[in-house]
Amino acid sequence: MHTLVPVTAGGRRVPLWVKQLKPVEMKRGALDSFLTREPKKLKYEVGSGKSTHSSYPFAIPHLPAAFAEQLGFAPAEESKLINNQLDLDLVYYQPYIPSSIAPGVFDFLRQELPFYRVRYNITRGNVQTLVNTPRYTTVFGVDDTSRFAPDGSLVDAKTGKPAEKNRYKCAPRPIPQCLDELRKVTEGTTNETFNFCLVNYYADGKDSISYHSDDERFLGPNPAIASFSLGAKRDFLMRHKPTPPKAGVVAEETKDMKLPLGPGDMVLMRGTTQANWLHSIPKRAGPEAGKGRINITFRKAMVKGGTENYYQYNVGMGGVHRWDAKAEKMVPVMAEVDAKLGSS
């Protein structure tokens, strides 16, 4: 028995009938059809502002105003300093991005950013191998020798004059507003500066990245890297690099680490961490295995080699992909266009 009580409308009490409501039965097939008829509603509203650049495959909407406003309250929780092991210097936020907007920010970035399933060649000796990256990636920014003018053109960082056309083999592109807002907030929290933003999308638990360190020389000594996690929970594993033995010196023992990164969490890796520790995101089974995850890292490349490297391994020869909300997967942009034309 469901009782509908009087409510107030326009200052008057309106009587409602009291009646027996019978449960509605729906067959399983009809229920599935009803539930899958339309793509899931997005947890955000796109405004009219967009970031555009000649190197973007399409315009990228600005961060929704409600999200930008909530970012003003970041970090959502106090940081935890982790430096209790040899050469380790981490600052851990659980979370950094407020939980009220983390799911929406994930949906927004997955839907609105261009992604690439990168392919590139590596040569070892006389053997050349084609590598297919086991995740989707994208990258924005340029190293410290250049900067973007207000009109989007590249200029020399020291002179302010237009950069020569052959300065880069790639086509650097500015960080779009939706990611730049997070960069600025992060810089204010960490007292670090960043000129690059790398974004990885892990489609499910099968997508992974093996043990590695971000210790490239173009990042300079003791680089600081701010790493954000959105979407599915994934384990972040760390282990110390092998320490060469020294005569008469007893090596300090270190233990492997596991951080259970959840939506909105951030890890700042700094100091000697990259030079001495490896990190990875392993494959995952279980309830979270079928869910997607986005990883955003802010970094600072010092020289041109950093720009060439980041665009080769995060854009490379891969075609542009974009999230298809109806199909619930990344699809090539041209396939997306063809599908829309076919349905029109």
- The answer to whether the CB of 206 falls within 8 A of the CB of 243 is no
- CATH numbers and ranges of domains, the chain: 7-244+251-343 (2.60.120.590)
Work out the average pLDDT over 149-171.
Answer: 96
Q: What per-residue confidence (pLDDT) applies to 125?
A: 83
Its pTM stands at 0.82
Confidence band for 318, pLDDT divided at 50, 70 and 90: confident
Work out the average pLDDT over 177-188.
Answer: 98
- The answer to whether the CB of 160 falls within 8 A of the CB of 42 is no
Work out the average pLDDT over 298-302.
Answer: 98
Confidence band for 43, pLDDT divided at 50, 70 and 90: low
Confidence band for 9, pLDDT divided at 50, 70 and 90: very low
- The answer to whether the CB of 293 falls within 8 A of the CB of 230 is yes
* Per-residue pLDDT reduced to its tens digit, 21-35: 444 444 444 444 444
d(CA 192, CA 207): 30
* Chain center to CA of 319: 19
* Per-residue pLDDT reduced to its tens digit, 185-210: 999 999 999 999 999 999 998 888 89
Burial class (CB in 10 A: 0-12, 13-18, 19+), 137: buried
Q: What per-residue confidence (pLDDT) applies to 331?
A: 95
* Per-residue pLDDT reduced to its tens digit, 269-282: 999 999 999 999 99
Q: What per-residue confidence (pLDDT) applies to 23?
A: 45
pLDDT score of 325 more than 80: yes
d(CA 207, CA 117): 12
pLDDT score of 50 more than 80: yes
Tokens representing 28 are: 């399983």
Percent of the chain with pLDDT over 90: 68
Mean pLDDT estimate for the chain: 86
Q: What per-residue confidence (pLDDT) applies to 276?
A: 96
d(CA 280, CA 331): 26
d(CA 332, CA 203): 14
Work out the average pLDDT over 68-81.
Answer: 96
pLDDT score of 8 more than 60: no
Confidence band for 77, pLDDT divided at 50, 70 and 90: very high
More confident position, 119 or 20: 119
Percent of the chain with pLDDT over 70: 84
3-state DSSP assignment of residue 144? coil
Residues 6 or more apart in contact with residue 23 via CB below 8 angstroms: none
3-state DSSP assignment of residue 99? coil
Q: Which helix (H) or strand (E) holds 235?
A: strand 234-240
* Per-residue pLDDT reduced to its tens digit, 216-257: 999 999 999 999 999 999 999 999 999 887 776 777 899 999
